[in-house]
Structure 1
Amino acid sequence: MGSAVERTDKHVREYLLYRGFTGTLKQLDSDMKADKEKGFRVDKIIDQLQQLVQNFDLSGLMEYWLYLDRRLFSRLEDMYRSTVNKLRTSLYRYYVINTIQKGNLEKTQEFFQRQALDLQGQVEWRDWFILPFIPAPEQNPAFGQYFSRQWADTFLVSLHNFLSVLFQCPVLLNFDAEVQKMTSLTEENDQLRQMIFALQTESRDQKDGDQMVQHKLPLYVQNMDRLGDTELDLVWSQRPSSATTTPSRNFLSTFLPQGKRTLVKAPPITLGSSPSQAAVGRKETSVNQVTADVGRRSGNPRRSSERFLLYSGASPQTQESKGEDVDPTPAKNLSGESPDSSSRGEGGLPVEQPFIKLSQEEYGEHHSSIMHCRVDSSGRRVASLDVDGVIKVWSFNPIMQTKATIMSKSPLLSLEWATKPDRLLLLGSGVGTVRLYDTDAKKNLYEMNISETHPRILSLACSPSGSSFVCSAAALSRSGSADSVPRLPIPVSGQLLLWDTKTVKQQLQFSLDPEPVAINCTAFNHNGNLLVTGAADGVIRLFDMQRYESAMSWRAHDGEVYSVEFSYDENTVFSVGEDGKFIQWNIHRCGVKQSDQALPPDATGPFVLSGYSGYKQVQVPRGRLFAFDSEGQHVLTCSSAGGLIYRVTNDEPALERVLSLGGHKAPVVTVDWCSAVDCGTCLTASMDGKIKLSTLLAQKS
């Protein structure tokens, strides 16, 4: 309990300091210095009593015991009163014995003179009044036991135990025990899930004629399903036939509760059905519900209601007249069709759009091009890094507010949120160091020297357990700069290292066959058993994190791999490369494509921003180039004027454009999709330092 009190006192002091209650803080410090209960630290109370006994301070001893009796013992039930009296008697005897052992007979006589009126009527003290007059009291049979070390130790232990049981924790102090309990239960649940998952995997029969290329992929990964067999089959049975059979998954969505992962699907259109029948089969979204959801974000229910009406029923002309952001050019999918034609079923029936764009806000605290923009696992904070090395930590719910600004003397190239606790931020530099930054305390916790020969920290990925992180370190390019453009035809050397976040030490270095090459992007699966990487040589490597070895690798792109992510069911991997392709790979069949789609040039980079007088800024991809919604059925990509959302299909083309977010005047270089709340938020960051937050409402059918 003592440690919980100290932590609570610290939090209270920080709160008072943050609120500016300096007078209350001074009074708190004064009261804490005069605290006779020693912060409920029983050992300190025992030390105080012993100090009074050793100093022969009878007045202080009596006063301190009287305080404890008035403050603590008086609140006990009557059945404990006899125990308190016995402890007080033993304490006074402990004092008297100490005066005799130290040869201070004056203090012995003083005790009996001051306590004569109180003690002479008590049976347990009747024989003790002759103690000062006995020549050798330690040899007297009646008093000999009190001079032994065993009696003193027994008394002190009894008093210590009694006080420990007596102190009851206030409700405020129980938070630490509750947090530890919840953490323990969460870890136990994760272990049980893994055991169930392993049993399901072992009991599953392989299908006849399946020509699976296993390589060194471990058994627990074969036929792996993110949700498990039963739950995955249930989800697939509820999906329409037009939906993809291999949905992908946003990496951040694994941290959400299962109840938050609501399916977003296009309603099936029955051949020959009438418009009225299709309308009856479609679930309507309540205006009040939308207003309430967005009202929590913007604090303006009326504005939210207007925005819903605009996007749900008003014509484009009406939207323009009311000042809403409207893309003046008709959206087209990758096949060149407009959404009006691509979103109509048989007989010209309109298919309900998967999202409603509720609002778009701008974060404009950066003054140079953005490299990274990431939401933490809880969906509460955003960390954004620009090319000048300035990091902003900010929140957008319920209002947009900057929480911390981090300035770095050395160039920064990468960042990643820790998973446990989610307030920590990993920052990779261009001089071979990684910093662990506490966004709540606004200070650096550690700075790790990763590599001198490979100083560029290109990518960071934290394990879902929070116990370790992977960092990719690369050597300088031939020109000696951290970001030479265009890229060298021969990839530079690199390392992939695993670090322990608790001991802050390197655990191992992964083997990068066929040669050590710079790793551009890394991603864990939901439980940290697998790690996928994309490298500058165009190769995707899959690592078994239980054996710490490469499970398989294959050449994925002509040129560098810029971004990789696991699909929602984690049976496939998606990647975007320098060749401008968006490819889905089956991890159970090494190098086998499930889909291959060419993206527009402004979605993959290098990104170019032209200005006056022939000014041109070129930026190679650094951050995430695509992000999935919570169910992996839709993907957000970059473009020259804002984010683009596509539906992932099982047909040709593999991507079907459904929504243009717009709002940017410079190329978007990195994106993220936060689905931690019902109204998901798409983040798009551009080369002019602007970050747009587009709030979407999923249309549930």
Structure 2
Amino acid sequence: MASAVERTDEHVREYLTYRGFTNTLKHLDNEIKADKEKGFRVDKIIEQLQQFVQSFDLFSLKEYWLYLDRRLFCRLEDVYKSTVNKLRTSLYRYYVINTIQRGNLEKTQEFFQKQALELQGQPEWRDWFMLPFLPSPEQNPAFLPYFSRQWADTFLVSLHNFLSVLFQCPLLLSFDAEVQRMTSLMEENEQLHQQLFAMQTESRDPKAGDGVILHKLPPYVQNMDRLGDTELDLVSSQRAVSTTTPPSRNFFSTFLPQGRRTPGKTPQMTPGALPSHPPGAKRDPSANQVKAQTRNIQTGLKGHLWIKLDVLFSKLTSSFFFCLQTPERRGEGEDVDPPTETSSKPAEAPNQRSCGAETADGGLSVEQAFIKLSQEEYGEHHSSIMHCRVDCSGRRVASLDVDGVIKVWSFNPVMQTKATIMSKSPLLSLEWAAKPDRLLLLGSGVGTVRLYDTDAKKNLYEMNIDETHPRILSLACSPSGSSFVCSAAALSRSGSVESAPPHPVPVSGQLLLWDTKTVKQQLQFSLEPDPVAINCTAFNHNGNLLVTGAADGVIRLFDMQRFESAMSWRAHEGEVYSVEFSYDENTVFSIGEDGKFIQWNIHRCGVKQSEQVLPQDATGPFVLSGYSGYKQVQVPRGRLFAFDSEGQHVLTCSSTGGLIYRLTSGEPALERVLSLGGHKAPVVTVDWSSALDCGTCLTASMDGKIKLSTLLAQKS
């Protein structure tokens, strides 16, 4: 800690010199010379507060406490706010008692005059306003304990202990420690990387000698981006590489989406540029021993650097390097075991071989689209999840459970809860605002919508939507402005029981447009043929179109420039649970109560592009069974499917985790690609964020667990 403090002191000196704060720099140097502990001095903070109290400097006392609140206390969980408020109240009382003990009644009256607006609504200060007018307040039973030395000492010790636990290390020191930790990890990873390359080279070369081994590369390998400078240096230290090898870029960029790659030329491979076995090198004939040594090295890798190597060598070694060898080379007495995926298939031509995932019938599919790098669990909820959404920046997640508890948390660089929101009234919906993305909309079951600031951790205001339609089923923020669409529904269902319809009569509902700046309703949309409850809403990329799915099975498309319905059609037998625009926004996808996943052409009203029947665990209602006949049924509330950044793959729910499908133009409409797994209870809502380099899939289940799966996309 001492070395970190000294390095931070140097950074502060540099900043003061840069700003020209010469007097401050002199005082800093003098205090540093007198400081012997070289660490956190909570006693100095207490002394500063006491100095403000003794000098009757109320303004400085408030400003100092406000700084501590802004830099430290605001980061705490909501459960600690009561402790902070009690300490602030005790600090103010400590100030008032000091003014009376020292006979400065003017400062006593000044305190209550300046703090009246802040304190008059707080019940703990109600009796204290009579304090300046009591002839002997130290003898009054209500104030007698506060004039004792024991109370003052107890308060100062409590404040000292609270700050000692809270303020372990300032932000600058934490940053310095993090930089040192990452530097050491990178150095360790570089050493292990070199060892791993050496072992892979030794186990892959068929024989020792000076000859160069030629490989005929498959097309998808020939089009790959080249190795980066760091990797090239590592390879050249282990292999004999010709001087004609071209400069290269990062190999791992080949697994990122096309839009995130940097432009580069296709490498021209020459015989002189290919690796050869180092002369005189010895090979271990035992493949199992090599694999065991490789696993031992991989277990030493830390963090995301370990993930890269694990993906490269545990996922691709068996198939990738096998594909590098032509059938002619494999037939020349080499003892090479092909990957298990191809062991039961006849040999194919090199240009037709696909190193991909295994299909259900045992054959090979096309190249695997995604690799699951990691899967983390967020387990702060204790009941079934209703909604789980990532904000536009991909930095924060908001999750809501059936008990009305909302958690706002981040997962980069570490998983951490930022705020906990408790609601007395039931909550049914949530949505992130587009501008600014720190705001969160919360729809309740009592006809209100709250706007919550996740940075300040407070409610900005609460809007009363409609008392006759109190259930706020869906919220959608326009990406182009400050307005949002709100779906409100009545409590009970209407209709005659004698008619006995095949499906219950949908409840009455309204679709409203609100402005978050003026906090006023702008208009009410017309719902034809009947005012029905809207279950789900979604905007297109610029907010000009709005698609909705209703309880009567009808999808409605609204023109948001004219604020009128453009078209509507009956899409499902039963309710529509979830709707989304396609990537090109020429079609709309929907999931309904009938278990169908349908693609609709928005240019031709009611025309299907494709249709796929999904299992019940993907569409709901979701059922969780337990011991002693326990059974929980949950109607879908959140998003049931989500697309990747290019709109070619879709993530859906299942009983054991998320499922990723590839969208096809033929039959079937969905081709299963990857099962994320990891859940022990049915997944009820999903989300897919591509804001970061690696895609992040969120799957939330009925047992309150949320799985965060990080994926890499493979592109040829």
Q: What TM-score do the two structures reach when normalised by structure 2?
A: 0.54
- Aligned residue identity for 1:312: L
Match of 1:516 in 2: 531
Q: In the TM superposition, what is the alpha-carbon distance from 1:677 to its structure 2 partner?
A: 1.2
Q: Which residue of 566, 575, 583 corresponds with 1:560?
A: 575
SS of equivalent residue, structure 1 residue 302: helix
Cα distance in 1 for partners of 2:403, 2:697 equals 24
Q: Which residue of 220, 224, 232 corresponds with 1:283?
A: 224
SS of equivalent residue, structure 1 residue 352: coil
Match of 2:418 in 1: 403
Match of 2:12 in 1: none
Match of 1:413 in 2: 428
SS of equivalent residue, structure 2 residue 547: strand
Q: In the TM superposition, what is the alpha-carbon distance from 1:313 to its structure 2 partner?
A: 3.5
* CA RMSD of superposed structures (Å): 3.4
Match of 1:606 in 2: 621
Q: 1:432 to 1:487 in 2, by over 3 A?
A: farther
Q: In the TM superposition, what is the alpha-carbon distance from 1:628 to its structure 2 partner?
A: 0.1
Match of 1:376 in 2: 391
Q: Which residue of 449, 454, 460 corresponds with 2:464?
A: 449
State whether structure 2 residue 451 is matched by structure 1 residue 436: yes
Cα distance in 2 for partners of 1:290, 1:395 equals 29
Cα distance in 2 for partners of 1:488, 1:277 equals 56
1:71-123 per-residue CA deviation (whole Å, 9 max, x = no partner) reads xxxxxxxxxxxxxxxxxxxxxxxxxxxxxxxxxxxxxxxxxxxxxxxxxxxxx
Q: 1:361 to 1:298 in 2, by over 3 A?
A: farther
- Aligned residue identity for 1:369: S
Unaligned runs of at least 5 residues, structure 2: 1-40, 65-214, 232-249, 257-297, 320-355, 495-500
- Aligned residue identity for 2:358: D
Match of 2:143 in 1: none
Q: In the TM superposition, what is the alpha-carbon distance from 1:559 to its structure 2 partner?
A: 0.6
CA contact (8 A) 2:307 2:374 kept: no
Q: Which residue of 653, 656, 665 corresponds with 2:668?
A: 653
Match of 1:305 in 2: 309
Indicate the percent of aligned positions where both proteins have the same amino acid: 80
SS of equivalent residue, structure 2 residue 555: strand
**Aligned runs of 1:183-202 on 2, under 5 Å?**
none
Q: In the TM superposition, what is the alpha-carbon distance from 1:279 to its structure 2 partner?
A: 4.8
Cα distance in 2 for partners of 1:24, 1:460 equals 51
- Aligned residue identity for 1:617: Q
Q: Which residue of 530, 543, 554 corresponds with 2:545?
A: 530
Q: In the TM superposition, what is the alpha-carbon distance from 1:361 to its structure 2 partner?
A: 0.4
Q: In the TM superposition, what is the alpha-carbon distance from 1:433 to its structure 2 partner?
A: 0.4
Q: In the TM superposition, what is the alpha-carbon distance from 1:299 to its structure 2 partner?
A: 4.0
Match of 2:488 in 1: 473
Q: 1:549 to 1:350 in 2, by over 3 A?
A: closer
Cα distance in 2 for partners of 1:580, 1:445 equals 40
1:612-664 per-residue CA deviation (whole Å, 9 max, x = no partner) reads 01100000000000000001000000000000000001111111000000000
Q: In the TM superposition, what is the alpha-carbon distance from 1:352 to its structure 2 partner?
A: 1.3
Q: 1:422 to 1:23 in 2, by over 3 A?
A: farther
Cα distance in 1 for partners of 2:677, 2:502 equals 29
Match of 1:507 in 2: 522
Q: In the TM superposition, what is the alpha-carbon distance from 1:312 to its structure 2 partner?
A: 3.1
CA contact (8 A) 1:421 1:466 kept: no
1:585-625 per-residue CA deviation (whole Å, 9 max, x = no partner) reads 11110001111111111100000000001100000000000
**Aligned runs of 1:244-393 on 2, under 5 Å?**
276-281=217-222, 283=224, 299-313=303-317, 340-341=358-359, 351-393=366-408
Cα distance in 1 for partners of 2:419, 2:429 equals 17
CA contact (8 A) 2:651 2:660 kept: yes
SS of equivalent residue, structure 1 residue 301: helix
State whether structure 2 residue 659 is matched by structure 1 residue 629: no
State whether structure 2 residue 593 is matched by structure 1 residue 578: yes
Q: In the TM superposition, what is the alpha-carbon distance from 1:678 to its structure 2 partner?
A: 1.4
Looking at CA atoms only, which structure, 1 or 2, has the larger radius of gyration? 1
Match of 1:698 in 2: 713
Q: In the TM superposition, what is the alpha-carbon distance from 1:351 to its structure 2 partner?
A: 2.5
SS of equivalent residue, structure 2 residue 507: coil
CA contact (8 A) 1:416 1:461 kept: yes
Q: In the TM superposition, what is the alpha-carbon distance from 1:30 to its structure 2 partner?
A: 3.6
CA contact (8 A) 1:308 1:358 kept: no
Q: Which residue of 438, 442, 445 corresponds with 1:423?
A: 438
CA contact (8 A) 2:482 2:517 kept: yes
Q: Which residue of 476, 493, 496 corresponds with 1:461?
A: 476
CA contact (8 A) 2:307 2:373 kept: no
Cα distance in 2 for partners of 1:458, 1:649 equals 32
1:668-697 per-residue CA deviation (whole Å, 9 max, x = no partner) reads 000000101111100000000000000000
Match of 1:668 in 2: 683
SS of equivalent residue, structure 1 residue 340: coil
Match of 1:184 in 2: none
User: Which structure is higher in RCO with an 8 Å CA cutoff and minimum separation 6?
Assistant: 1
Q: 1:693 to 1:313 in 2, by over 3 A?
A: farther
Q: In the TM superposition, what is the alpha-carbon distance from 1:501 to its structure 2 partner?
A: 0.7
Cα distance in 2 for partners of 1:575, 1:275 equals 46
- Aligned residue identity for 2:316: S
Cα distance in 2 for partners of 1:441, 1:379 equals 19
CA contact (8 A) 2:493 2:508 kept: no
Cα distance in 2 for partners of 1:665, 1:585 equals 34
- Aligned residue identity for 1:306: D
Cα distance in 2 for partners of 1:545, 1:303 equals 45
Q: 1:24 to 1:628 in 2, by over 3 A?
A: farther
Q: 1:487 to 1:518 in 2, by over 3 A?
A: farther
Cα distance in 1 for partners of 2:631, 2:502 equals 17
- Aligned residue identity for 1:470: V
Cα distance in 1 for partners of 2:708, 2:585 equals 28
CA contact (8 A) 1:523 1:533 kept: yes
Q: In the TM superposition, what is the alpha-carbon distance from 1:280 to its structure 2 partner?
A: 3.9
Q: In the TM superposition, what is the alpha-carbon distance from 1:451 to its structure 2 partner?
A: 0.7
Q: In the TM superposition, what is the alpha-carbon distance from 1:467 to its structure 2 partner?
A: 1.3
Q: 1:411 to 1:299 in 2, by over 3 A?
A: same
Cα distance in 1 for partners of 2:47, 2:420 equals 29
Q: 1:22 to 1:649 in 2, by over 3 A?
A: farther
Cα distance in 2 for partners of 1:434, 1:277 equals 57
- Aligned residue identity for 2:442: L
SS of equivalent residue, structure 2 residue 480: coil
SS of equivalent residue, structure 2 residue 605: coil
SS of equivalent residue, structure 1 residue 671: strand
- Aligned residue identity for 1:401: Q
- Aligned residue identity for 1:283: M
CA contact (8 A) 1:519 1:534 kept: yes
SS of equivalent residue, structure 1 residue 657: strand
CA contact (8 A) 2:357 2:366 kept: no
Q: What TM-score do the two structures reach when normalised by structure 1?
A: 0.55
Q: In the TM superposition, what is the alpha-carbon distance from 1:354 to its structure 2 partner?
A: 0.7
CA contact (8 A) 1:360 1:695 kept: yes
Cα distance in 1 for partners of 2:422, 2:699 equals 22
Q: 1:564 to 1:401 in 2, by over 3 A?
A: same
CA contact (8 A) 1:635 1:646 kept: yes
Cα distance in 1 for partners of 2:695, 2:361 equals 22
Aligned residues: 413
Q: 1:462 to 1:286 in 2, by over 3 A?
A: farther
1:231-255 per-residue CA deviation (whole Å, 9 max, x = no partner) reads xxxxxxxxxxxxxxxxxxxxxxxxx
Q: Which residue of 478, 497, 506 corresponds with 1:491?
A: 506
1:467-490 per-residue CA deviation (whole Å, 9 max, x = no partner) reads 1000000001249xxxxxx99611
Q: 1:692 to 1:291 in 2, by over 3 A?
A: farther
